[in-house]
Amino acid sequence: MRYFVELSYNGGRYCGWQRQRDAASVQETLERALSTLLREPVEVTGAGRTDTGVHAAYAVAHFDVAAPLTDPEHTAYKLNCLLPDDVAVFGVAPVADDAHARFSAAEREYRYFIESRKNPFTRRAAWHYYRPLDVERMDRAAASLLEYDDFTSFAKLNSNNKTNICRIVRAGWEESPEGVYRFTIRADRFLRNMVRALVGTLVDVGRGRYDVEEFRSIVESRDLSRASGGAPAEGLYLWDVAYPAGVFRRGERTRNLLFN
């Protein structure tokens, strides 16, 4: 029997999603809680891997168990009691045996938050960057991403990706009245490190180092050395994972409050 778990986590204390020797990962934390609860060794497969310190407002993972769960909602409740404060499960739901948290996912969305003013309440939940940024120009540069499909410029050297092709369906910057800049990007897939390299380069657009044309030439160059340094992990959130309607339907209560 296969189940999907919907969850969120504060990445601050973790080496990322993926299990690693000698470091706390979200994957291992979730596996340990599930194994304790279900009294059998449980392995989980995540929709995507987040890096050290990166958060997830919404993530999905699947696991298999020998016998069907009698009450998945109660399993979710008990999981939350077993899990630490920084990992929260929204729900546990049965899926078809061939539903796969990673391979069945049709789209993923990431958001990145920059605080432009000092805020004592979001120190580890956003990148605090107090120099002026031209958000309108960053937004124009971001919008141009929809015209491209090869993101080699924002890939990581020696990654295992067979291709650097991503179909981006949404990319843009918005500014809230409280001075929070929000970057939203949605695509069928993302390369490792891609969102942070994009944000770092777009911030260089915003602070005047590049204009929109230069940004486009960086994308077009397919040259890993031209992107700017990656933006800090604490501002990045895996925000959504979407599946075809026949595979999995997102639960009703899957939003924590903080930014939006």
Member of 8, 104, 201, 228 binding a second copy (CB under 8 A): 8
| Location of structure tokens 């040259």 | 223
Listed residue (168, 177, 113, 107) closest to 141, CA to CA: 168
Q: How far is the CB of 114 from a second copy (least distance, A)?
A: 12
The residue (of 167 and 255) whose beta carbon lies closer to a second copy is 255
Contact 65, 35 (CB under 8 A): no
Q: Note whether 103 binds a second copy by CB under 8 A.
A: no
Q: Note whether 87 binds a second copy by CB under 8 A.
A: yes
The answer to the question of whether 110 is labelled as a binding residue is yes
Half-sphere exposure of 30 (CA within 13 A, CB side): 29
Q: Note whether 52 binds a second copy by CB under 8 A.
A: no
Q: How far is the CB of 210 from a second copy (least distance, A)?
A: 27
Asked if 86 is an active-site residue, the reply is: no
Q: Note whether 74 binds a second copy by CB under 8 A.
A: no
Helix (H) or strand (E) holding 33: helix 26-38
The residue (of 104 and 235) whose beta carbon lies closer to a second copy is 235
Beta strands in 146-212 (DSSP E): 168-175, 180-187
Choice among 22, 51, 149, 240 that is catalytic: 51
Q: Note whether 50 binds a second copy by CB under 8 A.
A: no
Q: Note whether 88 binds a second copy by CB under 8 A.
A: yes
Q: Contacts with a second copy in 165-184 (CB under 8 A)?
A: 176, 178-180
| Location of structure tokens 């630490």 | 84
- In degrees and rounded to multiples of 5, residue 121 shows phi and psi of -100, -5
With CB under 8 A as the contact rule, which of the stretches 40-48, 86-94, 147-155, 202-210 interacts with a second copy? 86-94
Paired strand residues for 110 = 185, 238
Member of 21, 39, 117, 131 binding a second copy (CB under 8 A): 117
Measured CA angle at 38 (ends 67, 78), to 5 deg: 120
Distance CA 150, CA 163 (A): 8
Distance CA 260, CA 243 (A): 21
Helix (H) or strand (E) holding 82: helix 72-82
Q: Note whether 190 binds a second copy by CB under 8 A.
A: no
Q: Note whether 10 binds a second copy by CB under 8 A.
A: yes
Taking the CB of residue 69, how many other CB atoms lie within 10 A of it?
Answer: 17
Q: How far is the CB of 100 from a second copy (least distance, A)?
A: 25
Single-letter code of the amino acid located at 19: R
The residue (of 40 and 178) whose beta carbon lies closer to a second copy is 178
Q: Which residues of this protein are in contact with a second copy, per CB under 8 A?
A: 8-10, 55, 80, 85-89, 117-123, 125, 128, 176, 178-180, 253, 255-259
Catalytic residues: 51
Detail the residues annotated as belonging to a binding site for substrate: 110
